[in-house]
């Protein structure tokens, strides 16, 4: 919304991307996942902005009591769609289906706070950052873990979202631990139940989880992992679409709109870097 792509997922990506060249409405899908055409014009002609999301990360993106998309990302996208003069069309997908869907031409962008790691840069283009976040470790207190050093052990099981930056952090910082990659809710449940010892997760998700689950705690509340920034993921090849979105983000970052939305919906923030 950030994330390590396994060989199985990569095979699926290639298969979907190849199928896109046979059925993309805008004529932009190719076997390489490169968009050929002007997506900005296609969006306006279509009258809708198609966005791939995973609505399971409250308060960043989720479904409200009326089963409608809500959260920080949704509010930002509503402004974008209004400025484009089109309807916002959100497609709720499992996290690991988003990149294949983008490459298959199903979405105009993916909004789930992805980090443009080198492996992803070979497949996707990214905008300037639109959301800040920090990773922390939540532990089941019954595991008796009181320091980060104790996590790097074959006797420790750590959960993380499938293909996420958090999963990548576990592999790099705690290589001896057993990593169990799951969807977000099951990953938390493993820790709450004691079947896993810890989870690496975004701080804004960790804090409400700990409040609602006695017997769990944030292991590093005063020293979270380094600040990171999530960006929108785009099909490769359309310079006009990327340029428009970067200019749009730059405007709303500079005038404080994005920081204001983040603070209202998620909490205090140090803000975003300028979008140059």
Mean pLDDT of 138-165: 96
Mean pLDDT of 253-261: 96
Name the residue with higher pLDDT: 218 or 11: 218
Name the residue with higher pLDDT: 91 or 276: 91
Superfamily grouping for domain 135-218:
Periplasmic binding protein-like II (3.40.190.10)
**In whole angstroms, what is the distance from residue 178 CA to residue 115 CA?**
24
**In whole angstroms, what is the distance from residue 105 CA to residue 183 CA?**
24
pLDDT band at 13 (very low <50, low <70, confident <90, very high): very low
Write the pLDDT tens digit of every residue in 187-204: 999 999 999 999 999 999
**In whole angstroms, what is the distance from residue 51 CA to residue 15 CA?**
21
Q: Is the pLDDT of residue 267 over 90?
A: no
CATH assignment of 7-133+228-265, among 3.40.190.10, 3.30.590.10, 3.50.50.60, 2.60.120.620: 3.40.190.10
Q: Is the pLDDT of residue 260 over 80?
A: yes
Name the residue with higher pLDDT: 155 or 271: 155
Mean pLDDT of 267-272: 84
Q: Is the pLDDT of residue 258 over 60?
A: yes
Q: What is the pLDDT of residue 86?
A: 98
Nearest to 187 by CA among 171, 172, 202: 202
pTM across the whole model:
0.77
Mean pLDDT of 26-45: 71
Q: Is there a shared CATH topology between the 7-133+228-265 domain and the 135-218 domain?
A: yes
Write the pLDDT tens digit of every residue in 22-31: 333 444 544 4
Write the pLDDT tens digit of every residue in 117-149: 888 899 999 999 999 988 999 999 999 999 999
Tell me the CA distances in angstroms from 50 to 67, 88, 108, 112, one per residue in order: 19, 7, 5, 14
Q: What residue spans define the domains of the chain?
A: 7-133+228-265, 135-218
């Amino acid at each position: 919304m950030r994330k390590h792509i396994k060989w199985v997922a990569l095979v699926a990506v290639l298969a979907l991307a190849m199928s896109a060249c046979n059925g993309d409405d805008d004529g932009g899908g190719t076997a390489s996942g490169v968009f050929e055409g002007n997506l900005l014009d296609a969006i306006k002609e279509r009258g809708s902005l198609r966005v791939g999301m995973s609505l399971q990360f409250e308060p960043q993106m989720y479904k409200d009591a009326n089963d409608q998309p809500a959260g920080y990302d949704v509010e930002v996208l509503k402004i974008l769609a209004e400025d484009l003069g089109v309807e916002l069309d959100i497609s709720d997908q499992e996290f690991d289906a988003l990149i294949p869907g983008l490459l298959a031409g199903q979405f105009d962008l993916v909004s789930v706070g992805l980090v443009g790691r080198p492996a992803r840069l070979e497949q996707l283009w990214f905008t300037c950052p639109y959301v800040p976040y920090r990773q922390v470790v939540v532990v089941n207190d019954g595991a008796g873990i009181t320091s980060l050093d104790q996590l790097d052990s074959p006797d420790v099981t750590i959960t993380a979202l499938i293909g996420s930056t958090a999963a990548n952090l576990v592999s790099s910082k705690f290589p001896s631990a057993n990593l169990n990659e799951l969807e977000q809710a099951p990953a938390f449940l493993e820790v709450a139940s004691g079947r896993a010892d810890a989870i690496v997760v975004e701080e804004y998700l960790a804090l409400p989880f700990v409040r609602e689950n006695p017997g769990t705690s944030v292991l590093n509340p005063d020293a979270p992992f380094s600040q990171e920034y999530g960006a929108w993921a785009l099909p490769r090849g359309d310079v006009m679409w990327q340029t428009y979105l970067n200019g749009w983000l730059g405007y709303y970052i500079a005038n404080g709109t994005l920081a204001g939305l983040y603070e209202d919906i998620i909490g205090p923030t140090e803000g975003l870097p300028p979008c140059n």
